[in-house]
Amino acid sequence: MKIFSILKLSFIITVLFFSCSTEHQTEPTKVISMNEIKVEAPIAKKIAKELTIHGDTRIDDYYWMKLSDEQKNAEKPDDQTKDVVNFLNAENDYTNAKLKHTKPFQEKLYNEIVGRIKQDDQSVPYKDNGYFYLNRFEEGKEYPIYSRKKGTLEAKEEIMLNVNELAKGFSYFAASGLSVSPDNKLLSYGEDTLSRRIYTIKFKNLETGEMLSDVIPNTTGRAVWASDNKTLFYSVKDESLRAYKIFKHKLGTAATEDVEVYHEKDETFGTFVYKTKSDKYIVIGSYQTLSSEYRILDASTPDGNFEIFQPRERKLEYDISHYEDKFYVRTNMDAKNFRLMETPINATGKANWKEVIPNRDDVLLEGMDVFKDYLVLSERKAGITNIRIRPWSGQEHYIEFQDEAYLAYTSINPEFDTEVLRIGYTSMTTPNSTYDYNMKSKEMNLLKQQEVVGDFDSKNYISERHFATARDGQKVPISLVYRKGTKLDGSSPLLLYAYGSYGSSMDPYFSSVRLSLLDRGFVYAIAHIRGGEEMGRWWYEDGKLLKKKNTFNDFIDCGKFLVDKKYAAKDKLFAMGGSAGGLLMGAIVNMEPDMWRGVVAAVPFVDVISTMLDETIPLTTGEFDEWGNPKDKEYYDYIKSYSPYDNVKAQNYPNMLVTTGYHDSQVQYWEPAKWVAKLRDQKTDKNSLLLHTNMEAGHGGASGRFARFKETALQYAFFLDLVGINEGEMMN
């Protein structure tokens, strides 16, 4: 693969002054767009690879871009690795050249975005086991400082972990899974320096500040303490990055001596370990898209044997919370939207489950939190989250909120014996707010609202909620926000965002980042399409497997609705999605390429068949119930009918910016890279097609508090440039 040369660009803006008596006139500055810039696009070489199954052969000309971890991490790269890296770098150079004229604007956007973030900020402290815990940021620093105070908030701060110090010398660094021992003396945490979400667990003596010699590699990042303060349980990953084993570690011993306590042999399941809120039990969980299973062990007897709570069954999902002499079980057993059951601690099988709250067709039971005198339930109705307070004795009630569309959720609540519930609240015009809610008196105390530095005033923005009618008659919720004064006459640009997979609901939340679009006249909308769980479990099931195309149709129909209602100009409709939402982007540009002025597909899952046929790739085996197993011809044919990579054809495509990370463990870099190469070969238009690869990051992008917004500024500049806004014009 040759290294592609990129033409150097220079733009000279000449302002001419003409003198006529005492009057001066200035010629307007010409707005330069990326589509006017002539620069050579990288052309990837083709090596035809025949992929045959079910008597059907696909030809993949860019299969060669797929590298193994061993190849990527080798000290001396082989020729294939060099070719891949050269291609990715050439695409980066091309993107930089095409967007060079927006570089000052990108910098302005970046400074604007980070300028709204309070630099010396800290979280609201929460109390646990005699200490108040918080994390804070110092001005100009990228990473948090985790600390605590003993007894009262006036006590001396004890710094547990300064991630800024740990991150020195690394281009990427993430600290995760901080966990303090029951006696408050020791800290365990995981660190990842590659962005593959493979963590090494380390330990720190909080009394002396010294690091322990214990080091545990290849984990998911969090260790769970037994009651003896020296025994810990953790999960490890296999070659496909599936968490598949639980080990027991004794402090002071080598990780090689750790005892395997559970092996999840079913490759469609993952496993994890945690401690109940009561601190009574260590719990091992196994999960799959349609099934779950738990094992429990008294935390005071870490060398005992885990006992199965309820054996796994196909399509039986449940989760558990301990309370005194019983467990509460949230389950879908004969309950599509889940119901709540209870069972004795010594008789946990489903035959002993007794119903506490029944299934409701219009309410999805999403979660629970147990307190000494209260049971708190998280529910979703008509796409909106609700918090239900249920005393063990007395009248239950719901917490009331005022916005038409919002997100309310239970926050960190480690204390058991309390009447105070810590909750979070946000809407598309309300910054994230932390409250203490007294479950007895119903008093709400605002502890902190996210500070938006500058002249932000929520009264300057309007949020609305609508329902678009999809082509099959279903009503699809849309949440949107815009700045007062934005023209709603069919002339404004609009960015439509969605996800639509895994039952993950995209709630109407506030983002100070998107103000950079709103303040320049953009409308921002979230389409709550099928594949999420906004409208209940059935909403998810109606957007997966052999009904996956409902997800794509919903998004397209939401876009048409917004144009018809004049929230968006027909020629200024933009779309954005990431990961499985990137699959959505790939599908809609194949299906309706002329609808979109520009599309950003972030870390997009676009090579669906090839990935789902390769069980060595992370996440594949656990997702057959999400997408279907293409080894089954029925699913193969259906996936092939929408898989973005397999459906690229000779047609016009919109302006597109595709982003990825070279070390992405969830959607491997080669999917977007292959997709862009094939699009560039097939498309018949002259619109921009750009690929940006972060060569040092993974699925979540750059680490650090501010660095991630460099990519956001790139994406926003891409959108704004397409509508001729590249000088930073702001609405009054």
Hey, what are 307's tokens? 């006992």
**Type of residue numbered 576:** M
Half-sphere exposure of 483 (CA within 13 A, CB side): 19
648, burial (CB in 10 Å: exposed 0-12, middle 13-18, buried 19+):
buried
Question: Residue 564: which H helix or E strand, with range?
Answer: helix 549-564
With CA atoms as reference, report the closest residue to 446 among 427, 428, 425.
Answer: 425
Catalytic residue, from 214, 479, 699, 703: name it: 699
With CA atoms as reference, report the closest residue to 482 among 508, 515, 527.
Answer: 515
117 contacts 512 by C-beta, under 8 angstroms: yes
Distance (Å, whole) CA 599 – CA 578: 11
Catalytic residue, from 60, 646, 664, 721: name it: 664
| Distance separating the N- and C-terminal Cα atoms of the chain | 51
Distance (Å, whole) CA 469 – CA 476: 6
Q: Is 230 helix (H, G, I), strand (E, B) or coil?
A: coil
Distance (Å, whole) CA 126 – CA 423: 12
Distance (Å, whole) CA 589 – CA 322: 48
With CA atoms as reference, report the closest residue to 293 among 280, 282, 281, 308.
Answer: 308
Question: Residue 699: which H helix or E strand, with range?
Answer: none
- The Cα-based distances of 442 to 411, 413, 419 in angstroms read 17, 17, 10
- The Cα-based distances of 266 to 25, 296, 454 in angstroms read 75, 19, 53
147: annotated active-site residue: no
Per-position DSSP letters for 536-559, written without gaps between them: -HHHHHTTSGGGTHHHHHHHHHHH
699: annotated active-site residue: yes
List residues bridging with 288 in a β-sheet.
291
Backbone φ, ψ for residue 447 (5° rounding): -90, -40
Task: Output the 3-class SS for 277-325.
Answer: CCCCEEEEEEEECCEEEEEEEECCCCCCCCEEEECCCCCCCEEEEEECC
344, burial (CB in 10 Å: exposed 0-12, middle 13-18, buried 19+):
exposed
653 contacts 644 by C-beta, under 8 angstroms: no
Tell me how far the alpha carbon of residue 655 is from its chain's centroid: 24
505: annotated active-site residue: no
663 contacts 698 by C-beta, under 8 angstroms: yes
469 contacts 451 by C-beta, under 8 angstroms: no
Cβ neighbours, 10 Å, residue 300: 13
Catalytic residue, from 147, 195, 512, 579: name it: 579
Residues assigned a catalytic role: 579, 664, 699
